[in-house]
Structure 1
Amino acid sequence: MVGARFGYEGLRSSQVAEAAGVNPQTLRYYERRGLIAEPARSLGGHRLYPAETVTLLRVIKTAQRLGFTLEEIGELLETGAHRHRPPETGLAVRAQAKLAEVEARIADLEVIAGSLREALNAGCDDLMACSREPRCPLPFAALATDHRKSREGS
């Protein structure tokens, strides 16, 4: 640990960043966002983070990969810090809601994938030409028609 012989302990930004797999700018950004506490400083002004900051950063990055926003992660961290919290603010409820969002996105992506497969099977090769063809499997023709109707109605 840097500075242990001077009566303070901690890991420098570069050490924490490397151990957690983030860059040092991420640490400062998370500090500004309130996701990690502002660290102590060495006599030379270097940030000195407690070792558990590495675990916290890994938790934050994992939560991001699961689809949680930094704001949601901050709320989850804050909620977890309070023992007497309403159950609807906990991870289980939020994970269930996030799962529903992910499943809805997957359904949307499956529709898109199906449309793209149809376009490939139909031999669509020119985006503009395809958009003018009523038989085009992609929804361009419908979009163009809807656009013309909305302009005519205004």
Structure 2
Amino acid sequence: MTTPQTHRVFVYGTLRRGHHNHSLLEMSKFIGEAATLRTYWMITTGVFPIVLDAVPADFGLPPLAIAGEIYHVDDATLEQLDRLERKGRSYDRKVTDVYETGHMVQAHIYIGVADYWHHRHLPAWTIQNKRRELEWTPS
């Protein structure tokens, strides 16, 4: 008998506490607030954010760390998240370094697929928290 694997996942949008997709994480262990070590860009539909690791040269804004939350999820929950994020089409699931409760760890993050999002010309998200991290809130 194999034991289920747990995965550390960093969420920054509608999966966070208080947002409409959080129900997918209700049975997962909330670890705490976190931020990415690497810097990214964020765009928004107004309803949800998209984090990008590459943007067109004329984007005009510097990348910043992303604020979010860390959860430990099981295999089944990770599969549900992959379906929600349309892994491989809208988003890729990648591993990134994050600061979690004062130390650096690796976590999965959903990064927008550039070819899918760039032609949509969505506005940049520029609102920062007091630590100068991009922090999304719904419009």
TM-score, normalised via structure 2 length: 0.21
Structure whose residues are more often strand by fraction: 2
Structure whose residues are more often helix by fraction: 1
**Which structure has the bigger radius of gyration?**
1
